[in-house]
Amino acid sequence: MSRQRPNPRAEMLRQAVAEEAARVMAEQGIDDFLFAKRKAAARLGVVDAAILPRNTEIEAALFARRRLFAGGRHEAEIADLRRSALQAMRLLAEFDPRLVGPVLAGTASAHSDIHLHLFSESAEAVSIRLEERGVPHETLERRLRFERDRTVTFPAFRFVAGHQTIDAVVFPLDGIRQSPCSPVDGKPMRRATVAEVAALV
């Protein structure tokens, strides 16, 4: 059986949605691929889910947009975000922090949150550490996916380091062995240590 040829119009629409979603993410500081994808599809009048781009296609469009429109400014923004991440990671060094997400990938905007993974026997220990350092913080919960049908809820904290908002999820100590799925490609999230982030800066 011969393979069905791709529909050129559908491919053009898919690319247009990917580029519009990338624009939404870049201009509005949004890290949620699904939200940006839906917003882009609505704006372009695309109702066929089969035409919608994959997150990896949106990420590629986002990289291209950053290179085209931001250039050196974007590189400076990413470096600034990573320096703020490093500041927060050093503050919480006892919890073996890891940087994850758009700031590590290099797709973040100046308005993006910095996402950290921490590892501790109790979330309370993280809260106490922040209080000891005089860092105001908000307690939250984050649901993360590990397999297609398994999500786990973890405690999290939001606080400010430098001029940036930090979103830090607290895993149990053995949580360092298995990273949750990336919202971009479904593979285990890449995690970077303090030394690895320092090398990027």
Boundary (domain end) residue, out of 31, 48, 70: 70
Same domain, 175 and 130: yes
Boundary (domain end) residue, out of 18, 53, 70: 70
Same domain, 87 and 139: yes
Quick check: 158 pLDDT over 50?
yes
State how far the alpha carbon of 12 is from the alpha carbons of 9, 43, 50, 183, 196, in Å. Answer: 5, 15, 13, 24, 39
Same domain, 87 and 14: no
Q: What is the CATH number of the domain that holds 105?
A: 3.30.460
Same domain, 143 and 105: yes
Same domain, 62 and 98: no
38 assigned to some structural domain: yes
Q: What pLDDT is recorded for position 1?
A: 43
176 assigned to some structural domain: yes
Quick check: 152 pLDDT over 90?
yes
Same domain, 66 and 138: no
Domain count, the chain: 2
Q: Map residue 153 onto helix, strand or coil.
A: strand
48-104 pLDDT, tens digit each: 888 899 999 998 898 888 777 766 777 888 899 999 999 999 999 999 999 999 899
Quick check: 169 pLDDT over 60?
yes
1 assigned to some structural domain: no
Go through the chain and tell me how many residues it has. 201
Quick check: 136 pLDDT over 60?
yes
Same domain, 62 and 139: no
Same domain, 100 and 24: no
2 assigned to some structural domain: no
C-alpha to C-alpha distance for 100 and 105, rounded to whole angstroms: 8
Same domain, 92 and 61: no
161 assigned to some structural domain: yes
Closest to 28 in 3D by CA, of 62, 57, 56, 1: 62
40 assigned to some structural domain: yes
Q: What pLDDT is recorded for position 71?
A: 62
Same domain, 28 and 77: no
101 assigned to some structural domain: yes
In the block, tokens 């939001």 appear at: 158
29-55 pLDDT, tens digit each: 777 888 999 999 999 988 888 889 999
Q: What is the extent of the structural domain holding 27?
A: 8-70
Quick check: 3 pLDDT over 60?
no
Name the CA dihedral angle for 146, 39, 108, 77, rounded to a multiple of 10 degrees: -170
Same domain, 60 and 106: no
Quick check: 164 pLDDT over 70?
yes
Boundary (domain end) residue, out of 70, 88, 105: 70
Q: Whole-model pTM above 0.85?
A: no
Mean pLDDT of all residues in the chain?
A: 89
Same domain, 15 and 80: no
Q: What pLDDT is recorded for position 49?
A: 84
